[in-house]
């Protein structure tokens, strides 16, 4: 399962992932208030195609009424699952008003109101919650409390990122902390954090006892990870598949094609400045490649930089 990630899990990313073995994906999170207002940018984040399925949407917000209204709209739009964001750590989301995202971990009563409003607003799709272990408290008490409240209000499952809001993406994910949440509720618990290989996924399940694994940053530039994890969890102990440089270049060029097709050239060029770096991180001459990508003004220049880097990096690897 691929987690929602802002500025990452757009339609081209999901289509590449599905081709490479991704079984379930989420959109980037969207604001409940913006969706209610039919904000053009928000609706753009929610675009999809028939092959992009099954697909979940994720709402962020702190007003129960708005979250319920937006939830009904998500169901009307045809999404297969609705997730509620109680994990985002960025100040833009957690600050202001009562605070949304991971700030709701410190507002259990309001979180309960949101769960009740959302579950009552949808008729046919499951509702889940994605959260962190806590806001500042690493003990897992806040996540356990929120998970129990979610279960009581009819939420079907919870996903837990094994870090606090204070940690953001530093340190290591606490799999034992995820296990505390698993023991606290009867609904399924999905683990998230630091899964970059099949071995990581197996370790998370062994330590936490969680019911499933949600991938985050480990899938950026590495769509081969989906099959590697599937094999590992099915008991296949053969070494993980490592793509060749040519395979990476081929998939990256296809990713660029999809960005141009669905986002247009102007946005595709800007998106690819970070996407291309995901794929070739760690290769010789990667810094020079990033400079070339960031300097590219057109998709043609972007295509040429990718093709040239593939040849240059291959030569560097052979000569080393």
* Catalytically annotated residues: 88
Lookup result for tokens 């291309």:
276
Rounded to whole angstroms, how far apart are CA atoms 122 and 74?
A: 9
Query: 59-77 burial, b for 16+ CB within 10 Å, e for fewer?
Result: bbbbbbebbbbbbbbbbee
Q: Are 165 and 132 in contact (CB under 8 A)?
A: yes
Please tell me the distance from the alpha carbon of residue 26 to that of residue 81, in angstroms, as a whole number.
9
> Which structure tokens are listed for 223?
């769509």
* Calpha distance 80→161 (Å, rounded): 22
Tokens standing for 172? Answer: 């290591």
Q: Identify the bridge partners of residue 82 per DSSP, sorted by sequence position.
A: 57, 127
């Amino acid at each position: 399962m691929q987690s929602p990630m802002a500025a990452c899990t757009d339609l081209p990313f999901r289509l590449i992932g599905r081709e490479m073995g991704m079984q379930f994906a989420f959109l980037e999170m969207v604001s409940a208030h913006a969706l209610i207002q039919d904000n053009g940018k928000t609706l753009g984040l929610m675009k999809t195609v028939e092959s992009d399925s099954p697909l979940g949407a994720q709402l962020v917000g702190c007003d129960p009424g708005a979250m319920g209204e937006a939830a009904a709209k998500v169901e009307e739009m045809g999404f297969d699952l609705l997730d509620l964001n109680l994990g985002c750590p960025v100040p833009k989301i957690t600050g202001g008003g009562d605070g949304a995202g991971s700030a709701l971990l410190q507002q259990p009563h309001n979180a309960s109101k949101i769960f009740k409003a959302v579950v009552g607003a949808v008729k046919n799709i499951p509702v889940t919650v994605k959260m962190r272990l806590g806001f500042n408290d690493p003990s897992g008490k806040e996540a356990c409390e929120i998970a129990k409240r979610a279960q009581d209000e009819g939420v079907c499952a919870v996903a837990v990122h094994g870090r606090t809001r204070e940690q953001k993406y530093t340190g290591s994910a606490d799999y034992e902390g995820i296990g505390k949440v698993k023991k606290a509720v009867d609904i399924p618990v999905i683990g998230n954090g630091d899964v970059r290989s099949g071995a990581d996924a197996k370790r998370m399940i062994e330590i936490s006892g969680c019911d499933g694994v949600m991938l985050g940053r480990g899938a950026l530039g590495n769509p081969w990870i989906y099959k590697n994890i599937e094999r590992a969890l099915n008991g296949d102990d053969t070494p993980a598949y490592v793509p060749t440089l040519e395979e990476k270049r081929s998939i990256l060029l296809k990713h660029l094609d999809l960005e141009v097709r669905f986002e247009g050239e102007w946005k595709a060029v800007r998106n690819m400045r970070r996407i291309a770096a995901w794929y070739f991180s760690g290769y010789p001459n990667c810094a020079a490649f990033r400079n070339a990508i960031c300097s590219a003004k057109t998709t043609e220049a972007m295509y040429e930089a990718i093709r040239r880097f593939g040849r240059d990096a291959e030569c560097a690897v052979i000569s080393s």
